[in-house]
Amino acid sequence: MTTRSTLADLTPSFLFLLLTATLGPLLFGYHLAELNAPSEVITCAKKSIQASTTISRLTSAFKEHFVKPQSTEISASALPQCIPMNTTEFGLISSFFTLGGLLGALAAGPISAKSGRVRTMLYAALFATVGPIFEALAPNIGTMTLGRFIAGLGAGGAMVVCPLYIFDIAPPGRKGFFGSFTQVMVNVGILITQVLGYFLSRGQLWRVILGVGGMIGAVQATAFLLGGQESPKWMADVGKVGAAKRVLRKIRGQGADIEAEVTSWGVSDSGRDEDDEEERLVAGSESPDDEQAPSSNGGLLSSSHKSPQDSETLGAFAVLRDPRTRPAVFAITMIMCAQQFTGINSIIMYGVSLLSNLLAANSALLNVAVSGLNVIVTASAAPLVDKLGRKTCLLISITGMGISSILLAIGIMCSLSILSAIAVLAFVASFGLGLGPVPFILASELVDANAVGATQSWALAANWIATFVVAQFFPMLNEAMGKGQVYFVFAAMAVAFGGFVAWFVPESKGRADADEVWGRGKGRERVD
């Protein structure tokens, strides 16, 4: 297998694992945006968000001819039609999802290092299945808050482990491309919930929106139980090299040459288990020399070249104390904060209510369009991550978001609906170019393998804290400052974070390892 895989080289096994794993990020996006469209219906401010006359007529005609009246609404005697709450209470429900996500993110790194990637994602899927049940059947604020918290636990764990798993199983030369699928699926989840919200934000049908997330979680859990394959890189790291090679061969295809990829793992001969002999027989290579296969640069990649510090898995606090990993933890954490403090979730979570006075019923439709654009841009820009580089994509993205924030602030303040709509679309498109997908890739590139799990946990913990701050305080700050003016704050944040990326964050594209990324010495020739 060459280092530049083509789409034709992708096996059904890899595609199945990629889709199953990325259902976790999809659920993160789904829950992040699920309260956006139906917010005014849930809080009793409205009985329905009227999309448009045409859509309303089509929906009414469909219900009249094809749906029994008693089945269109959940019985009012069983559950209240809505849950009265003020802005602060609604912000609390929204933000409790992020608190659950924070705890899930902190726990997922150590669990995945000890128990494996797939088992951790299975645990997360179970939380993602249970939480929406409480949400959909919530009779009061407390129950809905609990459901959001449980769903957050699952989403937080998934967002830590899924990028690591994808990086481990993605073909060499395509890790940046497939790493972008984390954010692509987040956006798909947002799009699904916005479409459902557009049609179901009436009466008690908002409960269906919240319940669908649990169905997706159940599908993911079932898929992992039936066909989940553990990360071969993780298996090799814990000494199960023979089993790791068999799993990798299944993922890559029986005819694929996996030796260069296995060599890049840097595992020692002593770490290879008894299954290696069977693997060599299966591969048709019984020569003892295979165990000393040279690397692409003519050297031998074994742990004899690694110090104990390099091979020992570092915990959450160890990566902060270690001078080799501390700069990377700081850089990735700041970029994760930038992802939120530049304001993307102000649109994802509150876009409908934010623009409702300016765009009337079209605010819900605009959010559907925004979500669709986000999917298209992120998917289309995925190859740019490998072509232009991580840092370049980040700077382009942050610059576009900063400019769009200023235009959006002006549009809302001056009641310019066209400018506001264009600014929102440009804002979200800029996010998809870099600040959306790139942060989830960097943890696997800026540190060595022994520190990836802990670094990703810190990064996602920072991301969840920042998400909580935006979710909890954006409605209050927007109300206190006057509609639209808060986007000047987001623009200032974009300037600050853009300067940080330009000054401090290194480019990791094409670098062999973390040492080469940070200029600590000559790295190995990169195969991924």
Would residue 310 count as lying in a domain? no
- Whether residue 311 lies inside any domain: the answer is no
DSSP 506-523: PP-TT-SSHHHHTTSS--
Query: Domains in the chain: how many in total?
Result: 2
Long-range contacts of 293-297 (CB under 8 A, 24+ apart): 293/259, 293/263, 295/263, 295/264, 295/524, 295/525, 296/260, 296/263, 296/525, 296/527, 297/524, 297/525
Query: Residue 41 gets which letter from DSSP?
Result: H
pLDDT at site 279 = 47
Name the amino acid, one letter, at 510.
G
Q: Which residues have CB under 8 Å from 476's CB, separation 6+?
A: 87, 88, 91
Rounded average pLDDT over 408-426: 89
Of 305, 328, 353, the last residue of a domain is 305
C-alpha–C-alpha distance, residues 143 and 61, integer Å: 34
Same domain for 296 and 402, yes or no, is no
Q: Is the pLDDT confidence value at 12 over 50? A: yes
Residue 528 within a domain: no
Share of the chain above pLDDT 90, in %: 34
Find out whether 445 and 320 touch, Cβ atoms under 8 Å: no
pLDDT at position 226 is 93
Indicate whether 18 and 154 sit together in one domain: yes
Residue 209 has pLDDT above 90, yes or no: yes
**Between 25 and 270, where is the model more confident?**
25
Residues 102 and 198 in one domain: yes
How large is the average pLDDT for residues 100-126? 91
One domain for residues 119 and 242: no
Model's pTM, two decimal places? 0.75
Confidence band (pLDDT; 50, 70, 90) for 17? very high
Are 384 and 471 found together in one domain? yes
Q: Are residues 438 and 383 in the same domain?
A: yes
- Token pair 């991550």 in the structure block, residue: 385
Reported as a pLDDT band with limits 50, 70 and 90, residue 402 is very high
Asked if residue 348 belongs to a domain, the reply is yes
CATH number at residue 498: 1.20.1250.20
Mean pLDDT score across all residues of the chain? 80
- Both 176 and 85 in one domain: the answer is yes
**Dihedral (C-alpha) 320, 326, 330, 336: value to the nearest 10 degrees?**
-80
CA 389 from chain centre, in angstroms, equals 19
For residue 181, is pLDDT > 50?
A: yes
For the CA atoms of the chain, what is the radius of gyration?
A: 24
Q: Which domain holds residue 502?
A: 13-69+79-230+316-517
pLDDT, residue 359, reads 64
* Residue 497 CA to its chain's centroid (Å): 20
Q: Is residue 343 part of a domain?
A: yes
Residue 524 lies in a domain: no
Alpha-helix residue ranges (DSSP H) falling in 180-325: 181-200, 206-227, 232-237, 241-252, 259-264, 275-283, 308-311, 318-321
Alpha carbon distance 528, 517 (integer Å): 14
Residue 98 confidence (pLDDT) = 86
pLDDT at residue 51 greater than cutoff 70: no
pLDDT: which is higher, 59 or 425: 425
Residue 338 has what pLDDT? 95
Domain boundary among 284, 305, 326: 305
Q: Which of 65-74, 354-363, 367-376, 412-421 has the lowest mean pLDDT?
A: 65-74
Domain end marker among 276, 305, 334? 305
Element (H, E) at 91: helix 87-115
**Which pLDDT band, with edges at 50, 70 and 90, does 208 fall under?**
very high
> In whole angstroms, what is the distance from residue 266 CA to residue 273 CA?
15
Rounded CA-CA distance 15/34 in Å is 27
Do 229 and 210 form a contact (C-beta atoms < 8 A)?
A: no
Judged against a pLDDT cut of 50, whether residue 199 lies above it is answered with yes
Binned at pLDDT 50, 70 and 90, residue 408 comes out as very high
Residue 223 shares a structural domain with residue 265: no
User: Is there a domain that residue 371 lies in?
Assistant: yes
Q: Which helix (H) or strand (E) holds 355?
A: helix 344-359
**Same domain, residue pair 221 and 237:** no
pLDDT tens track for 458-475: 888 888 889 888 878 888
Lowest mean pLDDT among 148-157, 197-206, 368-377, 393-402: 368-377
